[in-house]
Amino acid sequence: MKRYLFFAYSLAIILMTGGSLIFAQENADKLRLPTGTMMLKAPAHSQTKMSPVVFPHSTHFQFSCTICHHEWDKVSPVEGCASSGCHEKLWASPPGTTPLRDKKVKSLTGAYHQACRECHRDLFKESQGNSKAMSRITAPVACEECHPASQAAVEDSLDSLDIPLGTITLAAPEGAESRRSPVEFPHGKHFDYACQTCHHDWDGESPVENCTTSGCHDQLEPDEKTRNIHDERNSLYFLAAYHKGCIQCHLSLRDQRRSLEKSGDINESELPGYGPLACIECHADS
Protein backbone atom coordinates (compact mmCIF):
# COMPACT_ATOMS: atom_id res chain seq x y z
CA MET A 1 0.00 0.00 0.00
CA LYS A 2 2.85 2.37 0.79
CA ARG A 3 4.17 1.75 -2.67
CA TYR A 4 0.77 2.43 -4.12
CA LEU A 5 0.48 5.62 -2.12
CA PHE A 6 3.85 6.77 -3.22
CA PHE A 7 3.04 6.25 -6.86
CA ALA A 8 -0.31 7.96 -6.48
CA TYR A 9 1.27 10.97 -4.82
CA SER A 10 4.24 11.19 -7.11
CA LEU A 11 2.00 11.00 -10.12
CA ALA A 12 -0.17 13.73 -8.65
CA ILE A 13 2.87 15.85 -8.03
CA ILE A 14 4.26 15.31 -11.49
CA LEU A 15 0.91 16.19 -12.96
CA MET A 16 0.65 19.27 -10.77
CA THR A 17 4.10 20.60 -11.41
CA GLY A 18 4.36 19.43 -15.00
CA GLY A 19 7.59 20.25 -16.70
CA SER A 20 7.88 23.59 -14.98
CA LEU A 21 10.01 22.49 -12.06
CA ILE A 22 12.58 25.02 -10.99
CA PHE A 23 15.99 23.83 -11.95
CA ALA A 24 18.87 23.58 -9.53
CA GLN A 25 22.03 25.40 -10.35
CA GLU A 26 25.22 23.48 -10.75
CA ASN A 27 26.38 23.57 -7.19
CA ALA A 28 27.56 21.25 -4.52
CA ASP A 29 25.33 22.75 -1.89
CA LYS A 30 24.21 20.64 0.97
CA LEU A 31 21.01 20.58 2.92
CA ARG A 32 20.96 19.74 6.61
CA LEU A 33 18.05 17.34 6.94
CA PRO A 34 16.63 16.81 10.45
CA THR A 35 16.12 13.07 10.80
CA GLY A 36 14.86 12.79 14.36
CA THR A 37 11.64 13.72 16.14
CA MET A 38 10.46 17.33 16.46
CA MET A 39 7.90 19.07 18.60
CA LEU A 40 5.45 21.14 16.57
CA LYS A 41 4.21 24.11 18.57
CA ALA A 42 2.16 27.19 17.94
CA PRO A 43 4.31 30.37 17.58
CA ALA A 44 5.53 31.59 20.96
CA HIS A 45 3.25 34.63 21.32
CA SER A 46 -0.01 32.79 20.65
CA GLN A 47 -2.55 31.52 23.13
CA THR A 48 -2.86 27.78 22.91
CA LYS A 49 -5.28 25.22 24.21
CA MET A 50 -3.68 22.01 23.11
CA SER A 51 -0.43 20.27 23.86
CA PRO A 52 2.39 20.46 21.28
CA VAL A 53 2.57 17.66 18.72
CA VAL A 54 5.30 15.08 18.40
CA PHE A 55 6.31 14.65 14.78
CA PRO A 56 8.73 11.92 13.69
CA HIS A 57 10.14 13.52 10.52
CA SER A 58 11.96 10.50 9.09
CA THR A 59 8.90 8.22 9.33
CA HIS A 60 7.60 10.45 6.56
CA PHE A 61 10.50 10.26 4.10
CA GLN A 62 8.67 7.54 2.21
CA PHE A 63 6.78 10.51 0.75
CA SER A 64 8.09 13.27 -1.44
CA CYS A 65 9.54 16.19 0.53
CA THR A 66 7.40 18.54 -1.56
CA ILE A 67 4.15 16.97 -0.37
CA CYS A 68 4.67 18.98 2.84
CA HIS A 69 7.30 21.56 1.81
CA HIS A 70 5.13 22.50 -1.14
CA GLU A 71 6.87 25.80 -1.89
CA TRP A 72 10.40 24.42 -1.68
CA ASP A 73 12.41 24.86 -4.89
CA LYS A 74 14.82 22.06 -3.93
CA VAL A 75 17.73 24.52 -4.07
CA SER A 76 17.23 27.01 -1.24
CA PRO A 77 17.04 26.28 2.48
CA VAL A 78 13.72 24.79 3.63
CA GLU A 79 11.53 27.35 5.44
CA GLY A 80 9.50 26.63 8.55
CA CYS A 81 5.73 26.37 8.04
CA ALA A 82 5.04 29.58 10.01
CA SER A 83 7.68 31.67 8.18
CA SER A 84 6.73 35.14 7.13
CA GLY A 85 4.48 35.05 4.08
CA CYS A 86 3.51 31.43 4.73
CA HIS A 87 1.20 30.00 7.40
CA GLU A 88 1.87 32.94 9.74
CA LYS A 89 -1.51 33.10 11.42
CA LEU A 90 -2.45 30.46 13.94
CA TRP A 91 -6.15 30.74 13.05
CA ALA A 92 -8.02 31.78 9.95
CA SER A 93 -9.13 35.43 9.92
CA PRO A 94 -12.87 36.02 10.12
CA PRO A 95 -14.50 35.95 6.67
CA GLY A 96 -14.35 39.23 4.78
CA THR A 97 -11.36 40.65 6.64
CA THR A 98 -8.69 39.68 4.11
CA PRO A 99 -8.39 42.14 1.20
CA LEU A 100 -9.25 40.34 -2.03
CA ARG A 101 -5.91 41.10 -3.64
CA ASP A 102 -4.03 39.31 -0.84
CA LYS A 103 -3.16 35.73 -1.49
CA LYS A 104 -5.28 33.43 0.59
CA VAL A 105 -2.95 31.48 2.84
CA LYS A 106 -4.24 28.80 5.15
CA SER A 107 -3.81 29.32 8.88
CA LEU A 108 -1.11 27.29 10.58
CA THR A 109 -3.69 25.20 12.40
CA GLY A 110 -5.67 24.66 9.22
CA ALA A 111 -2.58 23.77 7.23
CA TYR A 112 -1.31 21.28 9.79
CA HIS A 113 -4.68 19.69 10.33
CA GLN A 114 -5.27 19.37 6.64
CA ALA A 115 -1.84 17.94 5.82
CA CYS A 116 -1.39 15.66 8.80
CA ARG A 117 -4.88 14.47 9.47
CA GLU A 118 -6.11 14.02 5.93
CA CYS A 119 -3.22 11.84 4.91
CA HIS A 120 -3.58 9.72 8.05
CA ARG A 121 -7.33 9.41 7.47
CA ASP A 122 -6.72 8.29 3.91
CA LEU A 123 -4.40 5.59 5.19
CA PHE A 124 -7.18 4.25 7.38
CA LYS A 125 -9.73 4.44 4.62
CA GLU A 126 -7.50 2.49 2.32
CA SER A 127 -6.79 -0.16 4.89
CA GLN A 128 -10.48 -0.69 5.62
CA GLY A 129 -11.55 -4.21 4.91
CA ASN A 130 -8.04 -5.36 5.63
CA SER A 131 -7.98 -5.78 9.40
CA LYS A 132 -4.33 -6.76 9.36
CA ALA A 133 -3.28 -3.53 7.66
CA MET A 134 -5.56 -1.52 9.95
CA SER A 135 -3.97 -2.85 13.10
CA ARG A 136 -0.51 -2.01 11.81
CA ILE A 137 -1.20 1.63 11.06
CA THR A 138 0.08 3.90 13.82
CA ALA A 139 -0.64 7.24 12.17
CA PRO A 140 -2.74 9.32 14.62
CA VAL A 141 -6.18 10.66 13.65
CA ALA A 142 -7.96 11.45 16.94
CA CYS A 143 -7.29 14.76 18.73
CA GLU A 144 -5.76 13.20 21.82
CA GLU A 145 -3.42 11.01 19.81
CA CYS A 146 -1.67 14.14 18.55
CA HIS A 147 -2.50 16.39 21.49
CA PRO A 148 -2.38 14.12 24.55
CA ALA A 149 -3.68 15.61 27.81
CA SER A 150 -0.18 15.68 29.21
CA GLN A 151 2.62 15.62 26.73
CA ALA A 152 5.84 14.15 28.03
CA ALA A 153 8.39 16.83 27.28
CA VAL A 154 10.03 15.47 24.17
CA GLU A 155 13.20 17.32 23.28
CA ASP A 156 13.69 18.16 19.63
CA SER A 157 16.19 15.63 18.43
CA LEU A 158 19.23 17.25 16.88
CA ASP A 159 20.08 14.33 14.65
CA SER A 160 20.60 15.39 11.08
CA LEU A 161 22.17 14.33 7.82
CA ASP A 162 23.85 16.42 5.14
CA ILE A 163 22.37 15.72 1.75
CA PRO A 164 23.83 16.92 -1.53
CA LEU A 165 21.42 19.19 -3.41
CA GLY A 166 23.23 19.95 -6.63
CA THR A 167 24.78 17.72 -9.24
CA ILE A 168 26.55 14.47 -8.33
CA THR A 169 29.01 12.96 -10.76
CA LEU A 170 28.40 9.21 -11.07
CA ALA A 171 31.42 7.24 -12.24
CA ALA A 172 32.07 3.53 -12.63
CA PRO A 173 33.37 2.06 -9.35
CA GLU A 174 37.06 1.53 -8.84
CA GLY A 175 38.29 -1.58 -10.61
CA ALA A 176 35.52 -1.63 -13.21
CA GLU A 177 36.38 -1.18 -16.84
CA SER A 178 35.09 2.23 -17.87
CA ARG A 179 34.12 2.80 -21.49
CA ARG A 180 31.76 5.71 -21.06
CA SER A 181 32.12 9.15 -19.55
CA PRO A 182 30.78 9.69 -16.02
CA VAL A 183 27.18 10.84 -15.65
CA GLU A 184 26.18 14.27 -14.28
CA PHE A 185 23.20 13.48 -12.09
CA PRO A 186 21.04 16.41 -10.87
CA HIS A 187 20.15 15.02 -7.44
CA GLY A 188 17.85 17.79 -6.20
CA LYS A 189 15.75 17.74 -9.34
CA HIS A 190 14.67 14.27 -8.29
CA PHE A 191 13.33 15.28 -4.87
CA ASP A 192 9.73 15.17 -6.02
CA TYR A 193 10.23 11.48 -5.43
CA ALA A 194 10.57 9.84 -2.07
CA CYS A 195 14.23 9.27 -1.17
CA GLN A 196 13.58 5.54 -0.93
CA THR A 197 12.67 5.33 -4.60
CA CYS A 198 16.42 5.18 -5.17
CA HIS A 199 17.88 4.63 -1.68
CA HIS A 200 15.68 1.58 -1.31
CA ASP A 201 17.37 0.21 1.81
CA TRP A 202 17.63 3.53 3.66
CA ASP A 203 15.86 3.75 7.03
CA GLY A 204 15.50 7.54 6.93
CA GLU A 205 18.02 8.10 9.74
CA SER A 206 21.33 6.31 9.19
CA PRO A 207 23.94 7.69 6.80
CA VAL A 208 23.05 7.03 3.16
CA GLU A 209 25.29 4.38 1.61
CA ASN A 210 26.73 4.66 -1.86
CA CYS A 211 25.04 2.46 -4.47
CA THR A 212 28.25 0.52 -5.04
CA THR A 213 29.08 -0.02 -1.36
CA SER A 214 30.36 -3.47 -0.62
CA GLY A 215 27.44 -5.89 -0.29
CA CYS A 216 25.20 -3.66 -2.45
CA HIS A 217 25.59 -3.13 -6.21
CA ASP A 218 29.29 -3.89 -6.03
CA GLN A 219 29.59 -6.48 -8.82
CA LEU A 220 31.95 -5.10 -11.47
CA GLU A 221 31.09 -7.52 -14.28
CA PRO A 222 27.85 -8.97 -15.62
CA ASP A 223 27.01 -12.60 -14.89
CA GLU A 224 28.94 -15.05 -17.07
CA LYS A 225 25.78 -16.40 -18.64
CA THR A 226 23.80 -13.24 -19.32
CA ARG A 227 24.29 -9.50 -19.74
CA ASN A 228 20.54 -8.92 -19.40
CA ILE A 229 20.16 -6.14 -16.81
CA HIS A 230 16.73 -7.47 -15.84
CA ASP A 231 18.09 -10.91 -14.97
CA GLU A 232 18.13 -11.61 -11.22
CA ARG A 233 21.75 -12.77 -11.54
CA ASN A 234 22.74 -9.21 -12.46
CA SER A 235 20.94 -7.48 -9.62
CA LEU A 236 24.23 -6.60 -7.90
CA TYR A 237 25.97 -5.58 -11.14
CA PHE A 238 26.43 -1.79 -10.83
CA LEU A 239 25.63 -1.04 -14.47
CA ALA A 240 22.40 -3.05 -14.28
CA ALA A 241 21.31 -1.26 -11.10
CA TYR A 242 21.96 2.22 -12.52
CA HIS A 243 20.49 1.56 -15.94
CA LYS A 244 17.44 -0.15 -14.50
CA GLY A 245 16.93 2.54 -11.86
CA CYS A 246 17.51 5.59 -14.02
CA ILE A 247 16.39 4.59 -17.49
CA GLN A 248 13.30 2.61 -16.48
CA CYS A 249 11.77 5.58 -14.67
CA HIS A 250 12.53 8.02 -17.48
CA LEU A 251 11.10 5.55 -19.98
CA SER A 252 7.88 4.92 -18.10
CA LEU A 253 7.37 8.68 -17.66
CA ARG A 254 7.92 9.19 -21.38
CA ASP A 255 5.34 6.51 -22.11
CA GLN A 256 2.88 8.05 -19.68
CA ARG A 257 3.43 11.40 -21.32
CA ARG A 258 2.81 9.95 -24.76
CA SER A 259 -0.39 8.24 -23.79
CA LEU A 260 -1.64 11.41 -22.09
CA GLU A 261 -0.72 13.36 -25.21
CA LYS A 262 -2.69 10.90 -27.33
CA SER A 263 -5.71 11.10 -25.07
CA GLY A 264 -5.68 14.89 -25.48
CA ASP A 265 -7.27 15.31 -22.03
CA ILE A 266 -4.49 17.37 -20.56
CA ASN A 267 -2.73 20.66 -21.35
CA GLU A 268 0.72 20.58 -22.85
CA SER A 269 2.09 22.44 -19.81
CA GLU A 270 0.72 19.84 -17.39
CA LEU A 271 2.28 16.84 -19.08
CA PRO A 272 4.90 15.07 -16.97
CA GLY A 273 8.55 15.78 -17.72
CA TYR A 274 11.01 12.96 -18.05
CA GLY A 275 14.76 12.52 -18.01
CA PRO A 276 17.22 11.49 -20.73
CA LEU A 277 17.00 8.13 -22.51
CA ALA A 278 19.76 8.31 -25.13
CA CYS A 279 23.28 7.16 -24.22
CA ILE A 280 24.82 10.47 -25.21
CA GLU A 281 22.48 12.51 -23.04
CA CYS A 282 23.78 10.81 -19.89
CA HIS A 283 27.31 9.85 -21.01
CA ALA A 284 28.02 13.23 -22.53
CA ASP A 285 31.26 12.97 -24.47
CA SER A 286 31.36 9.34 -25.50
From the CB of 49, what's the least distance to ligand HEC, in Å?
4
| Phi, then psi, of 38 in degrees rounded to 5 | -120, 160
Q: How far is CA 273 from its chain centroid?
A: 17
Comparing CA positions, the residue from 177, 187, 255 lying closest to residue 222 is 177
Give the nearest distance from C-beta 232 to ligand HEC in angstroms. 20
Q: Rank residues 16 and 171 by Cβ distance to ligand HEC and give the closer one.
A: 171
* Minimum distance from residue 97 beta carbon to ligand HEC (Å): 19
106 versus 113: smaller Cβ distance to ligand HEC = 113
Number of CB atoms found within 10 A of residue 108's CB? 21
CB of 103 to ligand HEC, least distance (A): 19
Of 180, 135, 168, 143, nearest to 53 (Cα)? 143
Nearer to ligand HEC by Cβ, of 98 and 218: the residue is 218
The 3 state secondary structure assigned to 127-174 is: HCCCHHHHHHCCCCCCHHHHCCCCCCCCCCCCCEEEEECCEEEECCCC
Measured CA angle at 238 (ends 234, 240), to 5 deg: 50
How near is the Cβ of 139 to ligand HEC at its closest, in Å?
4
Classify residue 109 by burial, with Cβ atoms within 10 Å: 0-12, 13-18, 19+.
middle
Distance CA 30, CA 13 (A): 24
Nearer to ligand HEC, 101 or 224 (CB): 224
Compute the least distance from the CB of residue 100 to ligand HEC, in Å: 27
Nearer to ligand HEC, 166 or 275 (CB): 275
Please identify, using beta-carbon distances, which residue of 41 and 106 lies nearer to ligand HEC: 41
219 bridge partner residues: 237
The bridge status of strand 37-40 relative to strand 53-56 is: antiparallel
Of the pair 98, 186, the CB lying nearest ligand HEC is at 186
Cβ contact 183:169 at 8 Å: yes
Question: From the CB of 101, what's the least distance to ligand HEC, in Å?
Answer: 26
